[in-house]
Homo-oligomer: A and B are copies of this chain.
Amino acid sequence: MSRFLNERFTKLVPYVPGEQPTDMSYIKLNTNESPYPPSPKVHARMTAGEIDRLRLYPDPLGSALRAKAAAVYGVRPENIFLANGSDEALALAFMAFCGRRRPAVFPDITYGFYPVYCALFDVPYETIPLRGDFTVDIEAFCGVGRNVILANPNAPTGLAVPVSDIERIVRSNPDNLVLVDEAYVDFGAESAVGLIGKYDNLLVVHTCSKSWALAGARLGFVFGQPALIEDIDRMRYSFNSYNVTRQTLIAGEAALDDLPYYTQMRGKIVRTRERSAAALKALGFELTDSKANFLFARYPGKSGGELYQKLKALGILVRHFDKPRISDYLRITIGTDAQMDALVEALKRILEK
């Protein structure tokens, strides 16, 4: 730390992303990436001409991509904000809408970046404990009178709530914003995007990192009424106007052009999830009913940290959070069937010892 850092940040504890080994020797089940590549249409659009055009700035409006996303999601372009990954979308939304006098609330167990944003932007926050079975206490969020941040499906539990529950929270907090982080929604949960026309206090955040196989391209969407989108845009134009690269705009367009490919890909991941969940249960693991592209599992009597370490020693990376209530658990990204078979085999070996 330098002596020039603003006092406000000297105690800031940043988010710690999952390990990203630069060699390819691990079976990488730790950051919820897709085991399958992006659509062939993405390849087709990455022409030599596009590489030459890297000399030019991207379209800061992202007009072509927003038009395409509007058609796919059944909204209008002015309902869409394009971000450099959903983390940037969340950061800009926290910056725009939360603050000392606009506190936030989210579950005690959820995406670990939310409290970091609160610390960064000086936002007082409360957490509402998940129930014993890790389900969200919907009643507790109704009429809570703060900006509500809710991941659906939640991370790292994978548990989803129906849109009717989201709508109750939105309707009962008319003077606060409800931000629904749907990073994992495409693997079997219900999206709240269809509600944005009805409520001026709803923002829905999507990422292309998981169900669009574009983690490396950094692309996220925010859906909401135009006034909210304009506010986030105001933050962007005051922070980094050109936040999405030319190649990423193109990759996004190409991906949105190939829904059949992604529907098939997601179906495959969901089937592998169910198959892997059954295999882990057969080994004696306890699992949540994940609707995401990961499993959340513990083995009674074994520490999550120990299992994580032993898997790593066997060349398999999963994610372990050393946090209250979930330190016994592993979050395991759904890989290919072969990768999941290798995981199950490795766990078998570890447990037999």
Query: Which residues of A pack against B, CB within 8 Å?
Result: 1-9, 12, 14-18, 20, 22, 28, 31, 33-38, 42-43, 46, 48, 51-61, 63-64, 84-85, 87-88, 91, 95-99, 101-102, 116-117, 119-120, 147, 176-177, 200-201, 209, 213-218, 225, 227-228, 230-231, 234-248, 251
Contacts and interface: CB of A to CB of B under 8 A. Distances in A.
Nearest to A99: B6
Nearest to A42: B51
Contacts of A36: 55
A98 B177 CA distance: 29
Nearest to A220: B240
A60 B239 contact: no
Given A12-B234, A33-B55, A84-B240, 9 more contacts: A4-B97, A4-B176, A4-B201, A7-B101, A20-B59, A35-B55, A37-B52, A57-B216, A120-B238
A57 B251 contact: no
Contacts of A53: 37, 216
Contacts of A244: 218
A249 to B, nearest CB: 9
B243 A245 contact: no
A1 B230 contact: yes
